[in-house]
Amino acid sequence: MNRLKTMLFLDEQGEKNLRSAIIACLLTSLSLMIPFSITILVFTEALTPLAGETISWQKMWLMFGIGLAAFVVIFFFSKNDYRKTYVSSYGNSESTRLQVAEKMRSLPMSFFNAKDLSELSSNIMADCTNIEQVMSNIVPQLIANVISSVIVCAILAVFDWRMALAVFIMLPVATLVLFLSRKAQNRLFGRHVEARLNAEKQSQEYLEGIKVIRACSLGGDKFRKLDEEFTEQRRVAIRVELVSGVFIALSTMLLRGGIGIVTFVGVTLLTKGSLDFLVFLMFLLISSRIYGPILTVLSMLPDLLYLRVATQRLHELMESKPMAGDTEVFMPGNTVSFENVSFSYHDDEVLKEVSFIAREGEVTALVGPSGSGKSTISQLAARFWDTTRGSVKVGGTEVKTLDPEYLMKKFAFVFQNVILFNDTVEANIRIGKPDASEEEVRAAAKTARCDEFIEKLPDGYQTMLGENGATLSGGERQRISIARAFLKDAPIVILDEATASLDPESEVYVQQAINRLVADKTVLMIAHRLRTVLHADHIVVLEKGRIVEEGTGEELLAGNGLFSRLYHIQQGGI
């Protein structure tokens, strides 16, 4: 039960629900035996003339009556079983989805980095659906069938243990075949899951890129890729069915061989005179029916195996450790310092022995060619990731020891790409501080120079922004994100290429907004256009993950190093 519990992500309630679903199924499957037993009883009664006695019609009518009553019982049991099973599986599926969503909030950013987003969403939706189906169609029936088979076996053994043995002797053999095929099946299942994910990824890419694909007439090539992924998925799916099918057919055949064994053993015992003819007949009848439920169980096993493979990622997600740390720590000041920090996302080191200090009340600029590690540095400061070596401190406290959510309260980020939600302008600004009053939101918008364009929107602050704010210009989006940062009023501000993609006019507005935002804060400013950082208090120049120069703009320009070279190239370009 415990393994099942982890496998299906059951909570307490889910376990209870599953238990009652199993009992309900068991009742149904036992009640289904009533008509069958009656048939056998009627049959033996009908055969009494063979033994030289007369048929008791009274008995016959009684059995007929019981049979009718049995139908009513079966009806109610099945109805109950149906309801219990679905209540348990859908209830569980809801709670699993919530658990996953809750879990994602506490995971380190590195988790989202390693996994593709389409894979993550597939995790939640597809895996939960898989679990749901297994929960509703397989698990309760499977367990109930196993139990009822054992019960039947025990009853039969009371009649004649030798014949009961003959009925069930092939069961272990058939099970063994399926068990041995597990490895091959698991491997195929793994490939099937992979093929499914690839096809999903490809379709998502196709849909997301449809604009570009059309604009550049890439249709043929991209479509071919999509087509290939689907073909591969189909190929693997057929292989899976084929292999599972072969093993199921084989074990079915073995199991059905039991009928032959029953006949053989029965006839042998009959000729020896140690078996009643009617008992023999009863076993023959039973063995023609008894394998049904067992075969159903056997044919369900592959689905259960598949579930294990398919939900492996979900398990990984649920078991990965959240970043933990202290809250409510006294941190004197808000200086950010890096001491010999090295870091790698995967195998390659992207930062090597980086040391610098970003002081409170100063603007520290990070510059360097793209890919040199600037964004990585800014994200390490806020503990999106943990360093490989060295230490990152905020206000003298190792960020490794701090709870990420607590630490995040000290940071405001303004990125190049602003994420806007499909909600009103006001709600989008309020993200910076969810409990802000309307006045606070307006004030922040005003300081960030948003009010000018917001007033021109059809419904002002109540205008709906649509999918990722598609209706706003780059500069407007950027100012909304600055308004968020104002509202948050965090002591450390990180500007990652905040003005990189703006036209000169918007840049002026955004720059003004930024200048107001960063007053008296610890500022880490990443910029591509070196002109914008020339007046920073401190400039750190990076190349391939190493600091190659440091100093003020004037010092660096005089030094003839990387900064001055890049600067002159950019000025020349203009």
* Cβ partners under 8 Å of residue 282, min gap 6: 40, 44, 159
Place of tokens 């057919």: 249
Given a contact cutoff of 8 angstroms between Cβ atoms, the answer to whether 509 and 449 are in contact is yes
Residue 371 as a binder of ligand ADP (CB under 6 A): the answer is yes
Residue 123 as a binder of ligand ADP (CB under 6 A): the answer is no
Q: Which is nearer to ligand ADP, 136 or 375 (CB)?
A: 375
Cα–Cα dist 523/513, whole Å: 14
Question: Cβ of residue 540: shortest distance to ligand ADP, in angstroms?
Answer: 11
Segment interacting with ligand ADP (CB under 6 A) among 30-38, 50-58, 370-378, 407-415: 370-378
Residue 372 as a binder of ligand ADP (CB under 6 A): the answer is yes
- What amino acid is encoded at 101 in this protein? A
Question: Cβ of residue 314: shortest distance to ligand ADP, in angstroms?
Answer: 22
Most distant CA atoms of the chain, gap in Å: 123
Cα–Cα dist 75/78, whole Å: 5
* Cβ partners under 8 Å of residue 555, min gap 6: none
Q: Which is nearer to ligand ADP, 140 or 373 (CB)?
A: 373
Cα–Cα dist 534/552, whole Å: 8
Sign of the alpha-carbon dihedral angle for 483, 484, 487, 488: negative
**Running DSSP on this structure, what letter comes out for residue 534?**
T
Residue 506 as a binder of Mg ion (CB under 5 A): the answer is no
Q: Which residues lie across from 543 on neighbouring strands? A: 546
Q: Which is nearer to ligand ADP, 105 or 346 (CB)?
A: 346
* Cβ partners under 8 Å of residue 328, min gap 6: 406
Residue 113 as a binder of ligand ADP (CB under 6 A): the answer is yes
Cα–Cα dist 200/203, whole Å: 5
Per-residue tokens: 240: 């899976």
Segment interacting with Mg ion (CB under 5 A) among 54-62, 109-117, 122-130, 368-376: 368-376
Residue 383 as a binder of ligand ADP (CB under 6 A): the answer is no
Given 345, 396, 409, 419, the residue binding ligand ADP (CB under 6 A): 345
Q: Which is nearer to ligand ADP, 5 or 546 (CB)?
A: 546
Residue 65 interacts with which of Mg ion, ligand ADP, none, CB < 5 to 8 Å by class: none
Tally the C-alpha atoms within 13 A of residue 193's C-alpha that lie toward its C-beta. Answer: 22
Residue 196 as a binder of ligand ADP (CB under 6 A): the answer is no
Given 192, 374, 393, 488, the residue binding ligand ADP (CB under 6 A): 374
Q: Which is nearer to Mg ion, 375 or 532 (CB)?
A: 375
Measured from the Cβ of residue 138, the count of other Cβ atoms closer than 10 Å reads: 20
> Strand 397-398 relative to strand 411-415: parallel, antiparallel, unpaired?
unpaired
Question: Cβ of residue 239: shortest distance to ligand ADP, in angstroms?
Answer: 34
Residue 375 as a binder of Mg ion (CB under 5 A): the answer is yes
Given 72, 347, 370, 439, the residue binding ligand ADP (CB under 6 A): 370
Residue 532 interacts with which of Mg ion, ligand ADP, none, CB < 5 to 8 Å by class: none
Question: Cβ of residue 545: shortest distance to Mg ion, in angstroms?
Answer: 13
Question: Cβ of residue 501: shortest distance to Mg ion, in angstroms?
Answer: 12
Binding stretches for Mg ion (CB under 5 A) = 375
Binding stretches for ligand ADP (CB under 6 A) = 113, 345, 350, 368, 370-376
